[in-house]
Amino acid sequence: MITSLLVANRGEIACRIFRTCRELGIRTVAVHSDADENALHARVADTAVRLPGAAPTETYLRGDLIVKAAVAAGAEAVHPGYGFLSENADFARAVIDAGLVWIGPPPEAIEAMASKTRAKQLMGIASLDRDRVTESDLPVLVKAAAGGGGRGMRIVRSLADLDGALEGARAEAASAFGDGEVFVEPYVEGGRHVEVQVLADTHGTVWALGTRDCSLQRRHQKVIEEAPAPGLSDELRDELHSLAVRAARAVGYAGAGTVEFLVSSAGSAHFLEMNTRLQVEHPVTEAVFGLDLVAEQIRVAEGHPLESDPPRARGHAIEARLYAEDPAADWAPQTGTLHRLTVPDDVRLDTGYGDGDGIGVHYDPMLAKVIAHAPTRAEAVRRLSGALERATIHGPVTNRDLLVRSLRHKEFTGAAMDTGFYDRHLADLTAPDPDPYAHPSPATALNGVAARPPLVALAAALADARTRVSRFGGYRNLPSQPQVKRYATAGEEHEVRYRHTRAGLEADGVRVVRATPGLVVLEVDGVQRKFEVTRYGDQVYVNATALTALPRFSDPTAQHAPGSLLAPMPGTVVKVADGLTEGSAVEAGQPLLWLEAMKMQHKITAPLTGTLTALHAVPGQQVEVAALLAVVEPS
């Protein structure tokens, strides 16, 4: 029996594994980089071991250091989680050679399937020769042979872009997985990403635990997943189960794994890969089958047999990945302090962050996974979208609104989605919402159509006013002058006015029913609306809306010249375009430099056609958000 276990990972998955270990009575050991010294996974473990450094190549990808940490901490077993070294056969062997129990499949099975090129060969599928791709082969997908999570992947629709895609994918794969091998395969337009969860023991039993649909993806990384995959025929589902079991048996698999397919619009299945680890989206399968897959992994590693048949599936489950990113700004990752994250009690929350934790630039921007389970798909969709809408998320910009809109989009509710969902709908899904509380104000209306500033800004101002009431009261004997406050939200600035009177706070066009530092109730046309207000310095959260309190007058020095390229996120400059120097002529849209942040590379392009008059970025440089990288002046 295993009594102590080290998780060779971080964040959400480490916390999730530790939760099961506590339920089983297993002592837990965490490893952490310097950047993660105060991370939640390091705090909740019974023991934590430091891995010096911050970059994954210095820390979570150093199998030798992790094995030493396990031995030093007295761990009996190692669980790799997902990502990092989870599909590294050499690491699995090193764990076993150190006398530790490996919570995963045999190294030989990992080796057979860890490289997507070798996995395809095992399944009798040939990759395209990247040196012989022709126009008739397009579009194609350049893909990292190791790892996953959408890193090291590029869609190529023009032969002229192939070399650049290969170079970019190699660099990203090497940084994320320590392996720069890439390959090329056909890209199926309009396909669905469907996968089968398998669980196998060391006694010859293999379970196919249903299907999952993971078609909603951004940058080839999954955003919303569900089980079972809707709309599959019985014949196709049986075929996918059979192929998945065949793949597991072909390599003598043991433990939890996933076999992934691309299902075309015509209903044909194309094998993609086998992930020899636990998947991020495993909770939806757990919910439907009533299993704890981590507990099952541990039992398999201890030698226990599975029952001859898996449990019966019940209901439908959907998972949404909550990311610290701005989908409207090319999915730019966000950093800062996560002040608060809560969801309603009727859904499951898996997270690696606690209130007050910092979100840095070194790792994936996923904050949490929110999972809903219900008797039917429609009920699960409603439960999850409602829970996300009511969630309290105070911190950096997230994709919460995108998730809610995606779940309620007619293509998703009608189970008609495919992997091109965001290519088609991202602009509409990220368009600013009309203010739900906006209402024409008689005092400010122009020809009866102009609307007052958002009520959320007014609520923020009224709550702030209640925090500043003096001991002599909130009004004077003489009529007071209107008080003015300015707030920025969603890229716009709003000015609001209110007055202190003998009757209390007043504002034009609304009735102030109640105003406290944490709650404001406003009545418009007989309808009362509640606004919960929370402040963190100059950041104000009113219900789900984030605002920034501004000085009354703007700072004229806080401006940049036209053509300035500002860092859209904190990160590291990994490359400057070949031959680019001050004085170079550039074209609008031309790639000038690349930033790496949160394990992804982000291309910075020229904002206009002209001359590069300043270049401040150099490879290896760490930059903060809004740092001036370069200036392009029109010709």
Q: How far apart are CA 633 and CA 635, in angstroms?
A: 6
Burial class (CB in 10 A: 0-12, 13-18, 19+), 231: middle
193 pLDDT tier (thresholds 50, 70, 90):
very high
pLDDT at 147: 63
Question: In the prediction, which pLDDT does 569 show?
Answer: 74
Position 440 scores a pLDDT of: 41
What mean pLDDT do residues 129-142 have? 81
Q: Note if the bond before 228 is cis, omega within 30 degrees.
A: yes
User: Tokens 């980089």, residue?
Assistant: 33
* Rounded alpha-carbon distances, angstroms, from residue 422 to 157, 169, 283, 425: 17, 21, 23, 5
Burial environment of residue 514 by CB neighbours within 10 A (0 to 12, 13 to 18, 19 or more): middle
In the prediction, which pLDDT does 552 show?
63
407/383 Cα distance (integer angstroms): 10
- Considering only 248-257, 271-280, 435-444, which range has the smallest mean pLDDT? 435-444
Average pLDDT of every residue of the chain? 89
- Whether residue 497 is predicted with pLDDT greater than 60 in this model: the reply is yes
* CA distance linking residue 193 with residue 379, whole number of Å: 22
pLDDT in tens, 272-329: 889 999 999 999 999 999 999 999 999 999 999 999 999 999 999 999 999 999 999 8
| Contacting residues for 511 by C-beta, under 8 A, at least 6 apart | 522, 523, 524
Residue 157 carries which side chain, given as an amino acid letter? R
What positions carry a catalytic annotation? 277
| Separation of CA 321 from chain center | 5
Element (H, E) at 16: helix 11-24
**Helix 63-73, helix 89-97: angle, nearest 10:** 30
Span 149-178, average pLDDT = 84
Q: Compare 597 and 291 and report the one with higher pLDDT.
A: 291
Quick one: 174 exposed, middle or buried, by C-beta within 10 A (0-12, 13-18, 19+)?
A: middle
pLDDT-based confidence at 557, cuts 50/70/90?
A: very low
Give the three-class secondary structure for 235: helix
Q: If you average pLDDT over each of 152-161, 482-491, 539-548, which comes out highest?
A: 539-548
Q: How far, in Å, CA of 631 to CA of 613, rounded?
A: 6
Mean pLDDT, residues 369-394 taken together: 98
The three-class DSSP label of residue 250 is helix
Task: Look up residue 289 and give its amino acid.
Answer: F
CA–CA dist 635, 474 (Å, integer): 58
Closest listed residue to residue 160, CA positions, set 133, 125, 129:
133
Question: Does the structure show a pLDDT above 80 at 599?
Answer: no
What per-residue confidence (pLDDT) applies to 148? 63
As a whole number of angstroms, the distance between CA 279 and CA 256 comes to 9
What are 341-377's pLDDT values in tens digits? 999 999 999 999 999 999 988 898 999 999 999 999 9
Tokens of 465: 């006013």
Tokens of residue 610, six digits: 């002209």
Mean pLDDT computed over 149-171: 85
473: which 2 tokens? 């009261």
Cβ contacts of 213 within 8 Å, gap of 6 or more = 192, 193, 194, 225, 226, 227, 228, 229, 230, 417
Residues 596, 364: Cα–Cα separation, whole Å: 11
